[in-house]
Structure 1
Amino acid sequence: MTGMIAGVLGLLVGLVIGALGGGGGVLSVPALVYALGQDAHAATAGSIVIVGIISVVGVLSRLRDRTVDWRTGFAFGAVGLPTAWAGSVLNRVVPQPVLMLSFAGLTLAVAALMLVRGGAGHEPAAPAAAGPSGGPSGGTSVLVRSRRRAFVVHAAKVTVAGSLVGFLTGFLGVGGGFLVVPALVVLLGMRMPVAIATSLLVLTLNAAGSLAARAGHLESDWAVLGPFVAVAVLGALAGKLVADRLSATSLTRAFAVLLLLVGGGVGVQSVVALLS
């Protein structure tokens, strides 16, 4: 019976990751804790395994589409590796109700950000051309400075956002896609379909770093994780087909609503646990 429940939940998580490029950890942690009876520390570790495997499948399924921004994805993942390690160490000493309440608060905050500012994404604006009074050399100099400034700002955003996402991946056991997608859309101006594909690459790297930090402390019940992952992989492939048929605006709103529902439910459960 447990295996059947795990399979059903895995299908849902796979669909969400495949369609939205994240949010699977937001679902898998509560599913493992509240539906399958695991404690928060085992659930966060298991969630990283689940999200990591599904994300690899998601990246491979998008190779032909060429929607993955490899440079941004690898940079995001690389700066997050040290902080993912730190988050994984902290995870082992934080009480379960506090861990879950932190999870809920962050989820609700990101949902609000997506609804208020997410939109459908946009392309970064091109630098304005120099006017004729600047002359050829003056115009070139202004353009070079503008591009350098844009590169520095872009690198700073990737570094800060990637480090934060890496830490939360390790600490909360989520792949970070529910943070990566809003960061790519809102901060870096990426279109939603590209943000979804790129976030899967970041999830893969973050999951690898978090699992390495948990080496020797990994608690995995493969009687639960096995059917969960097997069905979730199929769900991820189906989720990609769903994403291909929806507009970027619809995907953004669906992502935000999902976070609101999950964050609210986990928050209520956590407050009750702290007060009891």
Structure 2
Amino acid sequence: MELVELLAYIGALFIGLVLGLIGGGGSILTVPILVYAIALDPVVATGYSLFVVGTTSLAGSIQHMKRKMVNYKVALLFAIPAFTAVYLTRAFLIPAIPDSLFYLGSFEVTKDLFIMVLFAVIMLMASLSMIRNKKTSTIEEQHNTSYIILMVQAFGIGIITGLVGAGGGFLIVPALLFLAGLPIKKAIATSLFIIAINSLIGFLGDVQNIAINWVFLVSFSAISVVGIFLGMWLNRYIDGKKLKKGFGWFVLIMGIYIIFKELAG
């Protein structure tokens, strides 16, 4: 096993570990690890990421399901338009995007560049939501539930998930809080369940379009699943909320690095 591959597997463990410790955010590192450590094409990397994020989130949501923390009605209302958007994006939109989009003078904007810069912007948004660390636990359950707006927003989040291969928990949780009126703990648990459904069904849209190295993908995902259970165990002894802001700064730096690397490269 080469050093870069070993580092990638360590990264897979870290992805699950962070997800188990702070309840989200770890999946945002999947694409950078696959692109820069394994040298996968960004389109392939975002597809692989959906499988990794989906299996890891599903494993993590099992504990929430056992404790009856998942609101299945809201999950289905959100997941149906979201996974429809993810699937359509992966199966039809991404293959339809030309490899060369346009030129800015002599600078060529390619599909790969567009995906990585968009992903970096999503990383910046996710990092800011972690750094701000608003005390959403104090929010009371809402009674003016707006399921139509929730489903429209779910479709939009599904398109973003399909494009960049990230779970989008930092977008889903606020929607569940303010539009579905869920308490914070149920919003987080339901979000993880939604991410699992969205990602795995979205990945099906890739099966016909990309060559998949199943041995690597399954082993990478399995290590990430081990990481999430390890993170859940460590969460008993370590306050994940205190780690969240520090991880947010790390993601912010990574996002800025990706933008500079892609635009300067």
Please report the TM-score for the alignment, with normalisation by the length of structure 1. Answer: 0.77
In the alignment, which of 220, 241, 250 is matched to residue 228 of structure 1? 220
Instruction: Check the 8 A contact 1:111/1:257 in 2, yes or no.
Output: no
Paired residues for 1:85-234 under 5 Å: 85-88=87-90, 89-92=92-95, 93=97, 95-116=111-132, 118-125=134-141, 150-151=144-145, 153=146, 155-185=147-177, 188=180, 190-234=182-226
Residue 110 to residue 28, structure 1, CA distance change in 2 (3 Å)? closer
Query: RMSD across aligned C-alpha pairs, in angstroms?
Result: 2.7
Q: Quote how far apart the aligned CAs of 1:237 are.
A: 1.3
Amino acid at match of 1:172: V
Which has the higher relative contact order, 1 or 2, with Cα contacts under 8 A spaced 6 or more apart?
1
Structure 2: runs of 5+ lacking an equivalent:
98-109
Residue 19 to residue 179, structure 1, CA distance change in 2 (3 Å)? farther
Instruction: Check the 8 A contact 1:81/1:166 in 2, yes or no.
Output: yes
Q: Quote how far apart the aligned CAs of 1:54 are.
A: 1.2
How far apart, in 1, do the equivalents of 2:194 and 2:141 lie? 24
Q: Quote how far apart the aligned CAs of 1:46 are.
A: 0.7
Amino acid at match of 2:94: N
SS in 2 for 1:217: coil
How far apart, in 1, do the equivalents of 2:141 and 2:42 lie? 43
Query: What is the aligned residue count?
Result: 249
Structure 1: runs of 5+ lacking an equivalent:
127-146
Residue 186 to residue 245, structure 1, CA distance change in 2 (3 Å)? farther
SS in 2 for 1:118: coil
Which residue is equivalent to 1:15?
17
Q: Quote how far apart the aligned CAs of 1:13 are.
A: 1.0
Q: Quote how far apart the aligned CAs of 1:210 are.
A: 1.0
Residue 219 to residue 45, structure 1, CA distance change in 2 (3 Å)? farther
Q: Using the aligned pairs only, state the percent identity.
A: 27
Q: Quote how far apart the aligned CAs of 1:32 are.
A: 0.7
Amino acid at match of 1:103: F
Residue 230 to residue 116, structure 1, CA distance change in 2 (3 Å)? closer
Following superposition, which runs of at least 4 residues in structure 1 exceed 6 angstroms of deviation? none
Residue 217 to residue 8, structure 1, CA distance change in 2 (3 Å)? same
Amino acid at match of 1:216: Q
Instruction: Check the 8 A contact 1:69/1:194 in 2, yes or no.
Output: yes
Query: Could you list the per-position Cα deviations for residues 155-186 of structure 1 after superposition, in whole angstroms to 9, with x for gaps in the alignment?
Result: 14422331222111111011222322343346
Amino acid at match of 1:91: I
Which residue is equivalent to 1:271?
260
Q: Which has the larger radius of gyration?
A: 1
Instruction: Check the 8 A contact 1:100/1:266 in 2, yes or no.
Output: no
Amino acid at match of 1:214: D
How far apart, in 2, do the equivalents of 1:256 and 1:190 lie? 24
How far apart, in 1, do the equivalents of 2:166 and 2:141 lie? 32
How far apart, in 2, do the equivalents of 1:256 and 1:158 lie? 28
Amino acid at match of 1:77: A
Please report the TM-score for the alignment, with normalisation by the length of structure 2. Answer: 0.80
How far apart, in 2, do the equivalents of 1:233 and 1:114 lie? 22
Task: Report the more deviating stretch, 43-52 or 231-240.
Answer: 231-240
How far apart, in 2, do the equivalents of 1:160 and 1:99 lie? 23
Q: Quote how far apart the aligned CAs of 1:192 are.
A: 3.9
Instruction: Check the 8 A contact 2:85/2:156 in 1, yes or no.
Output: yes
How far apart, in 2, do the equivalents of 1:90 and 1:260 lie? 32
Task: Report the more deviating stretch, 82-91 or 209-218.
Answer: 82-91
Amino acid at match of 2:163: F
